[in-house]
């Protein structure tokens, strides 16, 4: 039984951010209860943090997304801080404001306020037992689709793997295209490509169905238009939301499986790691890789070359094992016999080209 899920309500429009407090009051009309805002630390310098208007009882937690991708220890520490200040009282809502990392941290906190233990215990699929606290996504970077997916990607003590659960999906999203206009160009490119690659992988994969496909195709077109024709931020932002909605109901594929090894062992961030891998996947994704290369060229993006040249045989072994851990994605691309289509030698050959 496959149930399709979308974020049930969206507040969209230029300067919608100014209506955030009013929306929270309308959705959860209990002003005595506190709200948790999880804000990307980058917004200390963009001025967005200063535009927040928290009530005295609210908690504003910063996540230092510019310095590192989220770890399970970050989520646990922030959850512990909330519990230390508020005891067993739950917030009326958790608001995640920022890029994919900060939105993922907010998702995970919402779930970890109602589920015991460490967030590392829930890395995987459908391991979360109890509904989280309600949550609102406010993306300030477009492309990860985190505002619309079930996934909160976290690096734990032993693996980099998302908490994937119906309970980790946002209940609401506030999409204000003004918030993404000032993103640095390089970051805009790599997160835009994350969306592009999600949509390519989803639409080629067997996990896709007719309900998700139009979202993937519209999202893919929005990225192509943005980077090859005209930068329309409203379309680009909707493209991210559509891409997330598509991936929430399908699966990524071989590119994401291979990119986890690159990210985990070599430390590249997710968007860049995907681009390094996708650049070498023409045999699987043909025309879409050629379009990707046109976007890279048009924006004069320098992809790092020969990133695996100093990787040791032991590290390669680990990268192969990490790739195979993403079994679901490999099944979507290759079917249940994915190890025949992608044996360890083939993985090594592909990594060798990167």
* Least distance from Fe ion to the Cβ atom of residue 322, Å: 15
CB 188, CB 223: distance < 8 Å? no
Question: Is the CB of 188 or the CB of 194 nearer to Fe ion?
Answer: 194
Question: Is the CB of 62 or the CB of 194 nearer to Fe ion?
Answer: 194
Question: Is the CB of 151 or the CB of 291 nearer to Fe ion?
Answer: 151
* Least distance from Fe ion to the Cβ atom of residue 353, Å: 21
**Ramachandran category for residue 23: left, alpha or beta (phi over 0 → left; psi -120 to 50 → alpha):** alpha
**Of the ranges 51-59, 191-199, 288-296, 336-344, which one interacts with Fe ion (CB under 5 A)?**
191-199
Residue 64 backbone dihedrals phi, psi, to 5 degrees = -80, 65
Q: What number of chain residues touch Fe ion (CB under 5 A)?
A: 1
Name the pairing type of β-strands 160-164 and 151-155.
Answer: antiparallel
**Of the ranges 14-22, 65-73, 77-85, 192-200, which one interacts with Fe ion (CB under 5 A)?**
192-200
Which one among 58, 62, 147, 194 touches Fe ion, defined by CB under 5 A? 194
Structure tokens given for 40 = 């990307």
**Of the ranges 176-184, 193-201, 207-215, 338-346, which one interacts with Fe ion (CB under 5 A)?**
193-201
- HSE on the CB side for 244, CA within 13 Å? 30
Question: Is the CB of 104 or the CB of 176 nearer to Fe ion?
Answer: 104
CB 171, CB 181: distance < 8 Å? no
* Least distance from Fe ion to the Cβ atom of residue 221, Å: 18
Structure tokens given for 309 = 């040249």
* Least distance from Fe ion to the Cβ atom of residue 252, Å: 6
| By CB under 5 A, residue 69 contacts Fe ion | no
The full DSSP string for 305-345 is --TTTT--HHHHHHHHHHHHH-HHHHHHHH-TTHHHHS-HH
Question: Is the CB of 11 or the CB of 272 nearer to Fe ion?
Answer: 272
* Least distance from Fe ion to the Cβ atom of residue 274, Å: 6
Question: Is the CB of 115 or the CB of 151 nearer to Fe ion?
Answer: 151
**Of the ranges 65-73, 131-139, 194-202, 261-269, which one interacts with Fe ion (CB under 5 A)?**
194-202
**Of the ranges 34-42, 88-96, 186-194, 281-289, which one interacts with Fe ion (CB under 5 A)?**
186-194
Residues 6+ apart with CB under 8 A from 29: none
Question: Is the CB of 72 or the CB of 195 nearer to Fe ion?
Answer: 195
Residues 6+ apart with CB under 8 A from 303: 272, 275, 276, 279, 296
* Least distance from Fe ion to the Cβ atom of residue 129, Å: 26
CB 92, CB 113: distance < 8 Å? no
Residue nearest to Fe ion (CB): 194
Question: Is the CB of 69 or the CB of 194 nearer to Fe ion?
Answer: 194
Question: Is the CB of 74 or the CB of 194 nearer to Fe ion?
Answer: 194
- Distance between CA atoms of residues 270 and 141, nearest Å: 14
* Least distance from Fe ion to the Cβ atom of residue 241, Å: 15
CB 93, CB 127: distance < 8 Å? no
* Least distance from Fe ion to the Cβ atom of residue 251, Å: 11
Closest CA to 193 of 282, 97, 276: 276
* Least distance from Fe ion to the Cβ atom of residue 9, Å: 24
Q: Name the β-bridge partners of 136.
A: 95, 172
- Distance between CA atoms of residues 282 and 267, nearest Å: 24
CB 126, CB 164: distance < 8 Å? yes
Which residues are at the interface with Fe ion (CB under 5 A)? 194
């Amino acid at each position: 039984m496959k149930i399709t899920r979308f974020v049930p309500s969206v507040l969209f429009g230029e300067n919608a951010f100014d209506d955030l407090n009013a929306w929270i009051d309308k959705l959860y009309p209990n002003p005595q209860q506190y709200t948790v805002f999880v804000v990307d630390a980058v917004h200390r310098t963009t001025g967005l943090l200063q535009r927040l208007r928290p009530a005295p009882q609210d908690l504003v937690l910063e996540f230092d997304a510019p310095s590192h991708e989220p770890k399970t220890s970050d989520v646990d520490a922030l959850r512990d801080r909330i519990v230390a200040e508020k005891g067993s009282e739950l917030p009326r809502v958790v608001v995640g404001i920022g890029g994919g990392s900060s939105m993922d941290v907010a998702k995970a906190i919402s779930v970890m306020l109602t589920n015991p233990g460490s967030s590392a215990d829930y890395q995987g699929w459908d391991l979360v037992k109890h509904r989280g606290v309600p949550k609102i996504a406010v993306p300030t970077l477009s492309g990860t689709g985190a505002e619309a997916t079930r996934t909160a990607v976290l690096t734990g003590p032993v693996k980099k793997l998302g908490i994937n659960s119906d309970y980790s999906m946002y209940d609401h999203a506030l999409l204000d295209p003004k918030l993404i206009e000032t993103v640095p160009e390089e970051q805009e490119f790599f997160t835009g490509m994350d969306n592009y690659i999600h949509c390519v992988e989803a639409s080629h994969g067997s996990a896709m169905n007719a309900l998700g496909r139009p979202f993937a195709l519209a999202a893919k077109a929005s990225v192509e238009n943005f980077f090859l024709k005209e930068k329309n931020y409203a379309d680009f932002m909707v493209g991210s939301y559509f891409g997330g909605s598509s991936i929430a109901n399908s699966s990524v594929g071989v590119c994401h499986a291979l990119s986890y090894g690159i990210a985990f062992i070599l430390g590249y961030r997710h968007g860049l790691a995907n681009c390094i891998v996708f650049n070498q996947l023409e045999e699987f994704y043909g025309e879409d890789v050629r379009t990707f290369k046109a976007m890279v060229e048009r924006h004069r993006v320098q992809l790092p070359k020969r990133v695996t040249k100093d990787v040791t045989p032991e590290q390669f072994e680990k990268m192969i094992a990490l790739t195979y851990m993403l079994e679901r994605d490999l099944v979507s691309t290759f079917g249940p016999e994915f190890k025949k289509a992608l044996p360890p030698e083939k993985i090594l050959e592909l990594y060798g080209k990167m």
